[in-house]
């Protein structure tokens, strides 16, 4: 166990609750996006508003797909963060092992990287795996 102090522990409790809420929200969002996509695949019976149906349909599908990919990536990050909490290494950068700033963790409990590593990766144009 590497609990540093009371603040860290309290922060971790709050973060865990936030992560669990995020997980539930994302799971719902993914479900509803998948539903919309499968409806679109079946000819989208309720797409009756607007004239050029096929163009609107394509844009709508693209939007759904990108939101779905985003939500799935976010869900993976949330699940990984919950796993790190179970493992007792939450709050440590998965690259360099340094403590992630408390403010960063508060804003984004699923953060896997410290700010320096995150910026380093963004500079190289890669996504954190």
Question: Rounded to the nearest whole angstrom, what is the least distance from the CB of residue 55 to Zn ion in the complex?
Answer: 45
User: Is residue 81 within 8 Å of residue 112, measured between CB atoms?
Assistant: yes
Nearer to Zn ion among residue 26 and residue 105 (C-beta): 105
93 is a site residue for Zn ion (CB under 5 A): yes
User: Is residue 77 within 8 Å of residue 112, measured between CB atoms?
Assistant: yes
Q: Which stretch binds Zn ion (CB under 5 A): 45-53, 72-80, 83-91, 106-114?
A: 106-114
Residue 45, C-beta contacts closer than 8 angstroms, at least 6 positions apart: 39
Q: Which stretch binds Zn ion (CB under 5 A): 58-66, 72-80, 88-96, 102-110?
A: 88-96
Between residue 23 and residue 62, which ones bind Zn ion under the rule CB under 5 A?
A: none
114 is a site residue for Zn ion (CB under 5 A): yes
- DSSP track, 81-129: HHHHHHHT-TTB-TTT-PBPPHHHHHH-TT--S-HHHHHHHHHTT----
Compute the distance between CA of residue 51 and CA of residue 71 in angstroms, rounded to an integer.
Answer: 30
**Residue whose entry in the numeric block shows the structure tokens 């995020």:** 22
Q: Which stretch binds Zn ion (CB under 5 A): 11-19, 46-54, 82-90, 109-117?
A: 109-117
Nearer to Zn ion among residue 75 and residue 114 (C-beta): 114
Which of 10, 55, 96, 102: binder of Zn ion (CB under 5 A)? 96
Compute the distance between CA of residue 90 and CA of residue 83 in angstroms, rounded to an integer.
Answer: 8
Between residue 63 and residue 82, which ones bind Zn ion under the rule CB under 5 A?
A: none
Chain positions contacting Zn ion, by CB under 5 A: 93, 95-96, 114, 117
């Amino acid at each position: 166990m590497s609990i540093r102090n009371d603040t860290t522990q309290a922060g971790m409790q709050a973060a865990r609750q936030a992560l669990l809420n995020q997980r539930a929200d994302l799971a719902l969002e993914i479900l509803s996006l998948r539903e919309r996509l499968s409806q679109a695949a079946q000819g989208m019976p309720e797409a009756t508003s607007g004239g050029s149906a096929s163009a609107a349909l394509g844009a709508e599908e693209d939007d759904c797909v990108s939101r779905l990919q985003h939500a799935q990536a976010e869900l993976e990050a949330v699940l990984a963060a919950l796993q790190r909490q179970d493992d007792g290494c939450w709050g440590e950068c998965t690259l360099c092992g340094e403590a992630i700033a408390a403010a960063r963790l508060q804003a984004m409990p699923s953060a896997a990287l410290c700010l320096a590593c995150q910026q380093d990766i963004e500079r190289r144009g890669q996504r954190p795996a």
